[in-house]
Every structure is written in structure tokens, then in C-alpha cells.
Structure 1
Amino acid sequence: MAEQYSTLQKDFYRESGKWLSTFEIWAKCINPNLHFIYILRQTQKYKKKSLPGLFWRLVLRRHQIKYGFQIYPETEIGEGFYLGHWGSLVINPKAKIGKNCNIAQGVTIGQQNRGKNAGYPVIGNEVWIGTNAVIVGAITIGNNVLIGPNSYVNFDVPENSVVLGNPAKIIPAEDATEGYINNRV
């Protein structure tokens, strides 16, 4: 049933657990997180060099500054994207994020410029990333992973895991994101 809905509707479903009309989505944009996701998804719809694409890129840039979200339209982000709180957030445009992912404030998902992990992270489906977590380098985060607040992750994480601390430690857990990721699409 969820296949009939747009990526934007799936993003908004994560917040409310209800399928919303276009008007209801627009009305929910009073929430800064949802407003930013709306603008990001609109920007992703259009080619960079088209007139609507240019318009939405300018709107996105203004709201990146306003809300402190540094997320670019080039970033591959799956449906059901959820931003828990607004505030400083940096995601490298070459990072890849799966579906039904939650990201809290203060998170950095970034590039590592040298060493064995030079590159960008790939984050699986149904991953919960806590406040001030840092994920860097050409690493893979598996599906159903919870990354605890203030964790520093620069290594691959297998699916069904909880990652805690700095330096981070992996704890296997089949129910890692149970109760953390609501209204999955």
C-alpha cells in the first residue's frame, strides 16, 4: 500500500503515522524539521540547471542557514527520512542514507580525506543516529543499527547492532532500533 505514496508523503508519515494530503503536508511545514525536509525533497525533484531547480536550490540554501542543516540535494537519502530535532547537522553530499533513518541534532556524517577509510559513509535502512554522533570515512553501517549519542564511528558496523561510546564499541542486538524508529514505511 505504501508504494502508492511519494517519498515526501513517506517522510511525513514517519512523523505522524498518518498518510497526509498535499495540503496537510504543507500545513505541517510549521515544524522546522518537516519544513526543511519538504524543501530538500522539492529541490531533489528538479534538475540543477532548470528554472525550478535553481529556485528550489536558492530556497534550500536559505533554509540551510536558517535551520543549521547542511544537507545537499545530491545526498542519496531513502524514503521515510526523519530529523528528530533542528539544529546543527552536517551530511556530506556523497554520503548515502537508507530508508527509515532517524538523525538527531549535532550529527556529522562526513568524509575522511586520508588513510584506509578515505571516502564517505553508506548508511543502511532503519538506522537511528543519536545526538552529536560522528560517522566518518568509507564505512558501511548495516541495517537495524542504533548509534548512541556522542559516538564516534569510523569503522564498519554489522547489521543488528548498537554502537556506543568514543571509541565506539559494537554490541550485537536483534532489536537494536525497536521503539526508536516509529511509523516505518
Structure 2
Amino acid sequence: MGYSIIQKDFYRESGKYLSHFQILKKCFSPNLHYIYLFRKTQKHYQKPIIGIFYKLVLRHYQIKYGFQIYPETQIGEGFYLGHWGQLVINPKTKIGKNCNIAQGVTIAQANRGKNEGVPVIGNEVWIGPNAVIVGNITIGNNVLIAPNAYVNMDVPDNSLAIGNPAVITPKANATDNYINNKI
């Protein structure tokens, strides 16, 4: 059976593939509710009437919950927001599958300098509270960005990024026990 991207996102929270009704029941949680609306808006983005409806609803909840994630942002399946509030992701950012993003994170564009542009983030990346990722950089697969880290350089696969400015340390199992219920 093929599962929808919404089911795959909600699988990360529960460890089970849920029916549409079960998913709606879990939407009392702001982070899950926002993911649901985000994916619905992405699905209907180009459609004239329903697309406008979902864009308006998503905008309302961006303001209400503090998530500044736009439907143009490319985010892979298994997306997980650990907590809600004050999250900013540049709409040109690309994020892989099975990624966790905590509260207070900023993923931003650099407007000048050698890293002018936006980040590309790989698969199975855990981004801790209040981390800042900025510029035309690549974050590899299986990377843990520690809380309060400032990352403005490439981070290779299988690494930890800790501190301000970030210090990169190789670690084979960087996200073990941080990213649960992988799809």
C-alpha cells in the first residue's frame, strides 16, 4: 500500500501509519496541525480556488503558531517538528527526509559573502533548539546540529555540529536515538 506524505510525516510521531481520521484527531497538537496544513497547501498550491484557500489558512496558522515555513519549501517525507513556536525556514531551502527541527531554529539565506544563498539539508538531520543554519551550505546525511549552534559552513555526512561558530566532529551514529520512527 502506498502511503501519503502526510501519513509518512505523522508516522514519525506515532510509529504507526494512521488513517485520515486518526490524523485529524492528532491535529490538536500545533506542530502536527501545522505539518498537516503545510502538506495540504503544498498539494493544492497551483490550484486556483482550493490553493488560495489553503494558502490563506496556512498563513493564519503561521502567525498563530510561529512557524514561518512556506509551501514553496522543499521538505522530504517524514518531516517532524518536535515542538512548536518561533521557527523560520527560507522558502528556497531544501530539506531531505526524516528530519527533525526543534523550536527557535532559523534556516536562512546569506545575502552577501562567499556563502551567499540558502542551505541544502540532507536526510536524517536533527536540528536542536535555537540553532542557526545560514548561507549556501550543504548539511550532509546523518548530522546532528546541537542546540544553539551557529552553522555557516558545509557539514559532511555522519557529523556533529556544536557551538558558535560550529565545530564539526565526525560521528558515525550522530543521530541514533534522536530520530525515531524513520520511514
- Give me the TM-score of the superposition, normalised by structure 2: 0.99
Q: Percent identity?
A: 73
User: Which one of the candidate residues 54, 58, 61 is aligned to 2:59?
Assistant: 61
What are structure 2's unaligned runs of at least 5 residues?
A: none
Deviation, 1:47, is: 3.1
Mapped partners of 2:21, 2:40: distance in 1: 15
Alignment RMSD (CA, Å): 0.8
User: Which one of the candidate residues 119, 123, 129 is aligned to 2:117?
Assistant: 119
User: Which one of the candidate residues 43, 62, 65 is aligned to 1:45?
Assistant: 43
Deviation, 1:167, is: 1.1
Aligned length: 183
Deviation, 1:129, is: 0.1
| Alignment of structure 1 residues 1-185 onto 2, 5 Å | 4-48=2-46, 50-185=48-183
Deviation readout 1:88-147 (Å, 9 max, x if unpaired): 000000000000000000000000000110000000000000000000000000000000
Mapped partners of 1:51, 1:120: distance in 2: 31
- Give me the TM-score of the superposition, normalised by structure 1: 0.98
Do the aligned residues in 1 keep the contact of 2:45 with 2:55 (CA within 8 Å)? no
Mapped partners of 1:96, 1:110: distance in 2: 11
Deviation, 1:49, is: 5.2
What are structure 1's unaligned runs of at least 5 residues?
A: none
Mapped partners of 1:47, 1:175: distance in 2: 37
Mapped partners of 2:136, 2:115: distance in 1: 5
Deviation, 1:156, is: 0.2
Question: Where does structure 1 differ by over 6 angstroms across 4 or more consecutive aligned residues?
Answer: none
Give the aligned residue type for 2:101: I
